Amino acid sequence: MGKVRRISGCVAAANAVKLADVDVICSYPIRPYTGIMSELARMVADGELDAEFIHGEGEHAQLSVVYGASAAGARTFTGSSGVGVTYAFEVYSPISGERLPVQMAIGDRTLDPPGDFGSEHTDAECCRDQGWIQGWASTQQEVLDMHLIYYRVGEDPRVMLPQFVCQDGYYITHILGEVDIPDPSQVKEFLPPYKNHHVLDPKNPMIIGAQIEPAMGPPLQYQRYQAMQAVGQVLREAHEEFARIFGRRYDPFLEEYLTEDAEVVIFGQGAHMVTAKAVAARLRNLGEKVGVVRLRTFRPFPTEEIRRRMSRFKAIGVLDNSVNFGISCNGGVLLSELRAALYDFGDKVKTVGFVAGLGGEVVTHDEFYRMFRKIQEIAKTGKVEQTAYWLPFEL
Amino acid sequence: MLERIPSIRKAPDEEYYVPGHRTCAGCGPALAYRLTAKAAGPNTIFIGPTGCMYVANTSYGCGPWRVPWIHAQITNGGAVASGIEAAFKVLARKKKYQGEIPHVIVFAGDGGAVDIGLQALSGMLYRGHDVLFICYDNESYANTGIQTSPTTPYGAWTTFTPAGPAVPEGKKLFPKDNPKVVAHGHPELKYLATASIGWPVDLMNKVRKGLNAEGPAYLHIQAPCPKGWQFPPNKTIEMAKLAVQTGMFQLYEYENGEYKLSVKMEERKPVAEYLKLQKRFAHLQPEHIEKLQAFVDARCAEVGITVPAVASAR
C-alpha cells in the first residue's frame, strides 16, 4: 500500500507522472497548471525521477517536443492551461493522427477575455474533437489515478491515442486534498512499459506522417475513429484492474450520486460537481428525490451509457462551465451532447441547461439550489420554457 | 565520427535519398536532400516540416528515404527534433534503447526555418539539442505556388509580390539573413555554415561537420527552384554557381566567432548577370538593380568578401 499525503492537484499529477516513469517532459509556464511542472522539475533536480525535462519555447513547442519524443519511443508528458491550450492547437491532430499516446494535463483556465486566472472548461473543451481521450477529475486523488489509468488506456495496442487529463484550475490544482500515493510496485503491475510498434529506428526505417492522396483519407480517419470507439472497453478493463491492484473503484464513465430513486439530477463534470453533491445531499435531507451524475469520460462521449442509465430520470439539468457562443439550445457542449444522446427518448426525459462559473467565479450552493428548483419545476409541469439559463443573470 | 570527403569521386556510392519522389525537373532542394542523405549515412533520422520536400516527396507507400523520416508541421521542425533527440538520450541512459544514437536532421524550407518555423529553430539551438538543422532555401513558399518568404530577394516577383505600376520592383523588402540571426544569439550553437548545391563536396563536408559537432548545428543551403525563379530546369547548377559568384549568396563557415570563406574569388560578377537569367527579375529597372547591387556589396563585406563586382568581358 502507498502512503497518504495532503497535496494539491498539481502535486498529485506530478506524482502520477513520476510513478509512470515518464521519459520526456516538456514545460512552459502558465497558471494554474504550472505547479505540476515545478514539482516535476524538483523531482528531476533531486534525482527522484530520471527524465529529460525540456523547457519548451511555448505550448506549441511543448506539444511538438512530445510528438517527436513519443515517435522515438519515449513515454511523454506535457500540460497547459487556458490560452496555452489553444496556442498548441495545430499539433493535437498530428499527435492523435500518428497514433502517439502522449499525455497532457490541463489545469482549466478561462480563455481571454477576461484574462483572469479563473477556471473554466472552455480551454480543454475546445480540443474535444481532435482524437484525444479526455476526462475530468473532481478530486486530487482522482487526478493521480486518472493519469495512471489514461496512460494505460492510451498506450493499449487497441487504442494508441493521446490523452487529456483535465482538472479544474484552483479548485483542484491549488487546493490540498488527501491522496493515497501508491507504491511503485503497484504501478509497475498496472502499467506496462510503453511500446510503440511504429517507432523511429534506423534499423527499421519507416515514414511517419506521409502526405496522402484523397483516396487514403477516409480509411486513415476511419482507423482513428475505430481507435476512439475501442476506448470504452479498454477503459472498463483498466478500471477493473485498477480496482483490483489499488483498491479504489471508479465507474469509468458516469459517477452516480444519490440517484437510485432520483426523479431529477444535475449532470456535469469536474470540481463543481463536488458542490452539486453537497447540495443534493441537503435536499435529500428534506426528502427531495434529487441526485447528481458526474461525467468522468468526456471523449469518447459515453452515449450508450447515458442512454441506458439516464433515460430513467424525469428531468436533467446540465451544468456547462464553458462558453459556446451560438451553440444549439444556448447552453454548452454538455447540454448539446446530452440532448443528442437522449434524443430518442423525446419528451420522456426533459433537459435544461445552465451556464455558470465563468471566468473562475464560484458556483455557489445557492445557485445549485436554484438549478435544482428549476429542474424540479420542469419535471412537475412538463414544460421547458427556456432551453438554457445563464447564471446569475437568468436564474 | 564521419570522415571528410576529399573529392566527388571519393564520395560514398550509397544513396539514402533515392528515386520515388515527384519533385520538379531540375529541383535544387531534391539535390540538396540527396547530398545531405549521402553524407549523413544510414544511422540518420530526418524530420521533414511541411514544404516542397514534404509534399513532393511523400505519398502513401512511396517515399524516397532509406532512413526513418517523420513529418513535422511547417511551424515546429526544431521542436519535434528536440523531442526525438531528447528521447534517444534518455532511453539510452535508462537502458530502454540499445544501439548507436542516430543523427537527427531537420530538413526545412525557408518558411519552416526562417519565417513561421524560426521560433522552434531558435528554441532548439538555445537548448543545445544535438541536432543538425538544415534550411534548404529556395527563396519562396514554392510548394503553395511561389509566394514571398523572408529570404525572397529584393525585386523578385512572387504571386504575393507581383510587379505593377504602383509597385514596380515587385518585392520591396530585403531578405532576412538567417545564418546571422542564428549565429549571434545562441551560446550552445556548435557549428554554422552556408552551402550551395553548386559545391556538392563542400556541402557534404559541412553536413558531416554539423553532425560531428556535439550539439546543435545550422546549415543554410541555397537551392535554386526552376519553377519559382523561372529559369529552364537544366540551368539549376549554373544558377547556384552564379548566386555565389555574384555574392547574392555567400558561402562560409562560422566558427569561434569568425567567418571562414569557403570559396576563393578573385572578383565578383555583377548581380545583373544573375538577374537576367531569371524571369522573376524581368521587370526590374536599372535603379532597382543598382539598389540590389549595393545591398549585396554590403552583405558580402559583412562576412569578409571584399573583392569588387566586375562585369564579365564580352
Q: What is the 3-state secondary structure (H, E, C) of A192-231?
A: CCCCCCCCCCCCCCCEECCCCCHHHHHHHHHHHHHHHHHH
Is the Cβ pair A200, B70 closer than 8 Å?
yes
| Residue A176 and residue A82 in one domain | yes
Cα–Cα distances (Å) from A212 to A216, A221, B5, B54, in that order, read 6, 12, 37, 11
Find the helix or strand (DSSP H, E) in which B132 lies: strand B132-137
| Residue A227 and residue A372 in one domain | no
Angstrom distance (rounded) from CA A246 to CA A145: 9
Residues of chain A found within 8 Å of residue B73, distances taken between Cβ atoms: 64, 90-91, 94
Q: Is the pLDDT of residue A341 over 80?
A: yes
Cα–Cα distances (Å) from B241 to A69, B220, B273, in that order, read 39, 15, 12
Is the Cβ pair B71, A71 closer than 8 Å?
no
In A9-48, the residues whose Cβ lies within 8 Å of chain B are 23-24, 26
pLDDT tier at A221 (50, 70, 90 boundaries)?
Answer: very high
The verdict on A359 touching B (C-beta cutoff 8 Å) is no
**Spatial contact of A101 and A160, defined as CB atoms under 8 Å apart:** yes
DSSP string covering B4-27: P--SGGGS-S--SB-S---PPTT-
The verdict on A218 touching B (C-beta cutoff 8 Å) is no
pLDDT tens profile A65-83: 999 999 999 999 999 999 9
Q: Could you tell me which of B127, B130, B151 has the C-alpha nearest to residue B51?
A: B151
| Residue A240 and residue A262 in one domain | no
User: What mean pLDDT is reported for chain B?
Assistant: 96
Q: Does the residue A395 lie in any domain?
A: no
pLDDT tens profile A202-217: 999 999 999 888 898 9
Q: What per-residue confidence (pLDDT) applies to A115?
A: 82
Indicate the residue among A215, A246, A277 that finishes a domain: A246
Angstrom distance (rounded) from CA B168 to CA B156: 11
> Is the peptide bond preceding residue B233 cis, with omega within 30 degrees of 0?
no
Q: What per-residue confidence (pLDDT) applies to A62?
A: 98
DSSP state of A349: S
> Is the peptide bond preceding residue A192 cis, with omega within 30 degrees of 0?
no
User: What mean pLDDT is reported for chain A?
Assistant: 97
Is the Cβ pair B70, A205 closer than 8 Å?
no
pLDDT tens profile B72-124: 999 999 999 999 999 999 999 999 999 999 999 999 999 999 999 999 999 99
pTM of structure: 0.97
Domain count, chain A: 2
pLDDT tens profile B121-154: 999 999 999 999 999 999 999 999 999 999 999 9
Number of H helices, E strands in chain A: 13, 15
Angstrom distance (rounded) from CA B44 to CA A205: 9
Indicate the residue among A224, A246, A268 that finishes a domain: A246
Q: What per-residue confidence (pLDDT) applies to B176?
A: 98
Nearest 10 degrees: Cα torsion A12, A152, A88, A211? 170
Which residue of A lies nearest to B94 if distances are taken between CA atoms? A50
ipTM entry:
0.96
| Residue A220 and residue A185 in one domain | yes
| Residue A210 and residue A263 in one domain | no
Residues of the domain holding A110: 3-246
Q: Could you tell me which of B294, B197, B211, B277 has the C-alpha nearest to residue B244?
A: B197
| Residue A267 and residue A231 in one domain | no
Lowest mean pLDDT among A194-198, B2-6, B44-48: A194-198
**Spatial contact of A302 and A391, defined as CB atoms under 8 Å apart:** no
**Spatial contact of B25 and B233, defined as CB atoms under 8 Å apart:** yes
Q: Please work out, in degrees rounded to the nearest 5, the angle formed at the alpha carbon of residue A48 by the alpha carbons of A44 and A54.
A: 20
Strand order from edge to edge, sheet including B103-109: A207-208, B69-72, B44-49, B103-109, B132-137, B217-222, B191-196, B252-255, B258-261
Q: What's chain B's Rg over C-alpha atoms?
A: 19
Taking residues B2-8, report their average pLDDT. 98
Domain of residue A224, CATH code: 3.40.50.970
Percent with pLDDT over 70 in chain A: 100
Q: Does the residue A141 lie in any domain?
A: yes
Q: What per-residue confidence (pLDDT) applies to A89?
A: 98
Angstrom distance (rounded) from CA A372 to CA B287: 78
| Residue A162 and residue A56 in one domain | yes
Q: Does the residue A329 lie in any domain?
A: yes
Backbone angles phi, psi at A347, to 5 degrees: -75, -10
A58-71 exposure pattern, b = at least 16 Cβ within 10 A, e = fewer:
bbbbbbbbbbbbbb
Q: Which amino acid is at B283?
A: H
Q: Does the residue A303 lie in any domain?
A: yes
| Residue A138 and residue A43 in one domain | yes
Q: What per-residue confidence (pLDDT) applies to B60?
A: 64
Q: Is the pLDDT of residue B313 over 80?
A: no
| Residue A258 and residue A230 in one domain | no
Q: Which of A72, A90, A205 sits opposite B75 (nearest CB)?
A: A90
Residues of chain A found within 8 Å of residue B58, distances taken between Cβ atoms: 207, 209-211
**Residues β-bridged to residue B104:** B45
Cell numbers for A326, please give them. 451560438
| Residue A22 and residue A43 in one domain | yes
Q: What per-residue confidence (pLDDT) applies to A31?
A: 97
| Residue A94 and residue A211 in one domain | yes
Place of cell 539573413: B177
Q: What per-residue confidence (pLDDT) applies to B314?
A: 59
Indicate the residue among A216, A246, A276 that finishes a domain: A246
Q: Is the pLDDT of residue A366 over 80?
A: yes
Distance from CA of B303 to the nearest CA of A (A): 30
Q: What per-residue confidence (pLDDT) applies to B246?
A: 98
Angstrom distance (rounded) from CA B259 to CA B304: 7
| Residue A233 and residue A320 in one domain | no
Q: Where are the beta strands (DSSP E) in chain A?
A: 3-8, 24-27, 52-55, 76-80, 103-107, 133-136, 163-167, 176-181, 207-208, 254-257, 264-268, 290-295, 315-320, 350-355, 388-390
Q: Is the pLDDT of residue B20 over 90?
A: no
> Is the peptide bond preceding residue B49 cis, with omega within 30 degrees of 0?
no
